[in-house]
Structure 1
Amino acid sequence: MAPAVAVSAPASDERLRISPLARKIAAQQSVDASRVTGTGPHGRIVKADILAAAANPALLKSAAASAGAAATPPRSGTPFTGGAVAAKGPIQEERLAPVSTMRGVIAKRMVESTTTIPYVYLDIEIDAEPLLAVRAQLNTGLESQGVKLSVNDFILKASAEALRRVPTVNCSWEGTHIRHHGAAHVAFAVALEDGLITPVVRDAHLKSVFQISTEVKALGKKAKDKKLAPADYTGGTFCVSNLGMMGIPKFTAIINPPNAAILAVGTTVAKPVVKNGQVVAGQTLTVTLSCDHRVFDGAVGAQFLGALKDLLEKPALLLV
């Protein structure tokens, strides 16, 4: 049975009596040891004191500024970053929230997408080392000019070029007709507090990766500031959803009608790969294409992914 924990006035580190093990555990559990009363010899703080204190919000460092006050529970949506779980109350306020206009539109379109579109999912693994190397070289060499390219900038450009090679993917289902789009208007998903929005890089097939990067940054900022005009997020012919920056290695995305496909991009993964018959350290990237089977078949989707893989593994092709 753990000993009772008393809250005392803070003690200076010089006169703090604490065992090395207790000090280590206190650091790991974010316990303010200076406020713990020790039960060991001569009032020394021992392991059991720290473990008991970890369950007392008043003794955690996040609450040290207010002695005896319970730690504030994290807000809903706050990511867990490790350490002791101090809050013991509800995870959030229980309430009934009205559906926002954005959330309502998303719900309607996603239900439409998943109930009316026959899906085919295809994924392919890409050697990301050439892409990462070219990106690093460009960012280092052009840093003085304010250039900072992201992996997603290359993926958007590569998607536009792959659509040029396999244009059937750049189509829309219209009931009795299939509309073939002459331009690659590539949208990209931006996460907002109330949902997702997909700004569009128009005529991406005519723009350089540098132009795409500049436009993506401007559209992303407008999205975060809620200043996008309808023309900024409508009319896309293809969409890219990237969760790589969140550490997701692979996922499938829901098509945004009237598009016939969406590309889901995972994070780069360091792992052993086989090159020239030898197992070596490598960096891979997995992308998944969600296809509308009414518009094109799996073989066409496979051709698109093959073209995309070729472009991303030979990133110099995206710079000409």
Structure 2
Amino acid sequence: GVSCGHAKPGWRLDHCRRGRGVADLASLKGSGPNGRIVKRDVEAASAVPVAPAPVIAATVSGPGFDEIPHSGMRKTIARRLVKSKATVPHFYLDVEIRMERLLALREQVNQSAPRKISINDFIVKAVAVALRQVPAMNVTWTDTALRQYHEADVCVAVSTDTGLITPVVRNAGGKALSQISADVAKLAGRARDGRLRPEEYQGGSFTISNLGMFGVEQFSAIINPPHAAILAVGATQQKPVVEDGELKAGAVMRCTLSVDHRAVDGALAAQWLAVFKGLMENPLGMLI
């Protein structure tokens, strides 16, 4: 053994580890008398180097533009969406839903509800009940098997300053509208504050993307892997409709279902969409 210059005789190099590793003696240069290796030499050589602070890319301005560096979340979103669109065989189904009964029920419910129920809360509930009634739609794709779920855990797309994230409303089919409303509000708030825990945005089998509040009439969304489907929801609008052979004004909402054809065939997706439409147009059925 080699002494490291401590006052106590018999101390050796392994006493100078300090929990941070031992220096290689051959590389040490002693600063004591006659080049002797002393305590401070070992401590200096054994110290853990401090990593340099990460370089944060700054906004670069040029003639007529500002170049804003991608955030980590934006890079992840881009990578996942490119993979989804390139590798998942999408097909799309459109449906128009009459909303008069749901709007009337919502107005009645909100007269006594502990918190105001939104149209989106009804959509989450209807999606979950439809997944229960058509369980073959409540699946995700893996390379070896379809994974069919016992509960309807529905993801709701939330826009944040750094990108889109999809927190999960667990067991939405078994919850009252007031609880769904509270869950969505809490999760959306935590998402916008960047405080979601992994278990709050991982999992689920189905996603809802609602742009109706922005006045968007209809759009198609990209599937959120490994989910088998995503429902794109547009705004409820007053439109002319034919009812009992007569033309009248009606409240109509358009939805587009994007489906992974590997996991779900067209007939099954159409069956699920018909059930969802029926629940939205006769909303008491989803509350019983």
TM-score (norm 2): 0.76
Structure 2: how far apart are the matches of 1:225 and 1:193?
9
Counterparts of 1:37-52 in structure 2 under 5 Å?
none
TM-superposition CA deviations, 1:143-171 (whole Å, max 9, x none): xx3x2000000000000011111112211
Does residue 1:272 correspond to 2:272, yes or no?
A: no
Local SS of the residue matching 2:79: helix
Out of 270, 275, 280, the residue aligned to residue 312 of structure 1 is: 280
CA contact (8 A) 1:186 1:201 kept: yes
Out of 101, 119, 129, the residue aligned to residue 130 of structure 1 is: 101
| Superposition deviation, residue 243 in structure 1 | 0.1
Unpaired runs of at least 5, structure 2: 1-60
Structure 1: how far apart are the matches of 2:261 and 2:189?
34
Letter in 2 for 1:308: F
Does residue 1:228 correspond to 2:214, yes or no?
A: no
Out of 84, 92, 99, the residue aligned to residue 121 of structure 1 is: 92
TM-score (norm 1): 0.69
Q: Which residue of structure 1 aligns with residue 125 of structure 2?
A: 157
Structure 2: how far apart are the matches of 1:98 and 1:281?
48
Letter in 1 for 2:169: V
Further displaced range: 231-240 or 174-183: 174-183
CA contact (8 A) 1:267 1:286 kept: yes
CA contact (8 A) 1:209 1:318 kept: no
Does residue 1:104 correspond to 2:72, yes or no?
A: no
Q: Which residue of structure 1 aligns with residue 249 of structure 2?
A: 281
Structure 1: how far apart are the matches of 2:142 and 2:223?
15
TM-superposition CA deviations, 1:162-220 (whole Å, max 9, x none): 11111122111111211111111100000111210001001112111121111111111
Out of 211, 224, 235, the residue aligned to residue 243 of structure 1 is: 211
Letter in 1 for 2:96: E
TM-superposition CA deviations, 1:239-268 (whole Å, max 9, x none): 000000000010000100000000000000
| Superposition deviation, residue 138 in structure 1 | 1.1
Does residue 1:169 correspond to 2:140, yes or no?
A: no
Structure 1: how far apart are the matches of 2:286 and 2:176?
8
How many equivalent residue pairs? 228
Letter in 1 for 2:165: I
Q: Choose 1 or 2 for highest CA Rg.
A: 2
Q: Which residue of structure 1 aligns with residue 149 of structure 2?
A: 181
Structure 2: how far apart are the matches of 1:211 and 1:263?
21
Counterparts of 1:292-311 in structure 2 under 5 Å?
292-311=260-279
Local SS of the residue matching 2:67: coil
Q: Which has the higher strand share?
A: 2
Letter in 2 for 1:170: N
Decide whether aligned partners of structure 1 residues 319 and 94 sit closer, same or farther in structure 2, where only a CA change above 3 A counts. Answer: same
4+ runs of 1 displaced by more than 2 Å?
Answer: 92-98
| Superposition deviation, residue 115 in structure 1 | 0.6
